[in-house]
Amino acid sequence: MSDGFQGMDVPQARAAAHQMDGGAAQVKNLVNQVTALLGSVTWTGEDARRFQQDWHGAFQPQLRGAMTVLEEKARELRERAEAQENKSAGR
């Protein structure tokens, strides 16, 4: 911002944290849905084994990792918003 503003817009930060939490929940739901779908598909053989191995061994953990990072960063953003609010209030 060019108007001399320094610090954080606390309501915007809290709204962003809320959206990040929502994104993490969407990733979690997607992982659960895809895992359930894959469990319901009748498929045998080497291709099936490889596909399941890719999902459970790589893709699912990567998505869960992204979910965790979103949750952690949302928490950090809320903490920083609270710190900014306290500092602005002289606490």
pLDDT tens, 26-72? 999 999 999 999 999 999 999 999 999 999 999 999 999 999 999 99
Q: Nearest 5 degrees, angle CA 43-CA 47-CA 48?
A: 35
The per-residue pLDDT for 36 is: 96
Of the pLDDT bands very low, low, confident and very high (cuts 50, 70, 90), residue 90 is confident
What is the model's pTM?
0.83
Q: How far apart are CA 39 and CA 36, in angstroms?
A: 5
Sign of the alpha-carbon torsion through 77, 67, 19, 21? negative
